[in-house]
Amino acid sequence: MSNDLLRSTHNRHSHALSIFALAVVFSGALFAQDSTKANSSTEVSFSKDVAPVLDKFCTTCHSSEEDHPSELFMDSYELLMKGGKHGKAIVPGNSKESLFSQKMSDDPPFGKMMPPPRKPRPTPEQVALILAWIDQGAKKN
Ligand code: HEC
């Protein structure tokens, strides 16, 4: 489709049109990027933003099917909120007090930093998004 559009830019009118189309696509991309930033005005969604990151970087080990020794399972919102061996991992509204984020820092209160060394890690933006979700009340949204 876009190839046809480019090939048909012989007259000024369609040329202007394709520039306009490009501008729309470009500003759309900028807008999409902006809306993923975690700030107080954007509500972070558990199902859309948080769960996919957990699935990719944490649930590989922290799954109830694996019967993980930490007893912290992340395959559902309910299991995650239930906590693990050391009690609740998430304190709604307070990411600093949450074991979940303390274990992701380079100075965990016990054991290893999460995910463990040499395992794939979420990007700083993905971590910031999860912390924002906790600070916004860790809702099942
Ligand atoms: C390669 C396997 C593995 C992955 C991936 C992993 N963990 Fe862990 N996790 C462990 C092990 C093993 C323990 C228990 C030992 C320890 O605390 O260091 C643990 C313990 C924990 C605990 C403490 C739970 C408790 O109550 O004792 C938290 C919180 C935690 N992990 C969070 C995470 C988060 C968040 C991620 C993803 C960003 C993650 N882990 C990814 C293996 C993993």
CB-defined site of ligand 1, < 6 Å? 57-58, 60-62, 69-70, 72, 84-86, 89, 99-100, 103-104, 110-112, 114-116, 119, 122
71: Cβ–Cβ under 8 A, 6 or more apart, which residues?
Answer: 84, 85
Kindly report the average pLDDT of the chain as a whole number: 84
Total-model pTM? 0.78
pLDDT (tens digit per residue) in 37-82: 445 568 999 999 999 999 999 999 999 998 889 999 999 999 999 9
Domain limits of the chain? Answer: 2-35, 46-135
Cα-to-centroid distance, 118 and ligand 1 (Å) = 13
26 DSSP assignment = H
Helix and strand tally (H, E) in the chain?
6, 0
Whose CA is closest to atom 7 on ligand 1? 115
Of 123, 137, 120, 115, nearest in space to 45 by CA? 137
Q: Could you tell which of 54, 60, 61, 99 is best to mutate to test the pocket of ligand 1, judged by most ligand atoms within 8 Å of the CB?
A: 61
DSSP letters along 31-74, please? HHHHHTS--TTSPPPIIIIIHHHHHHHTTTTS-TTTT-TT----
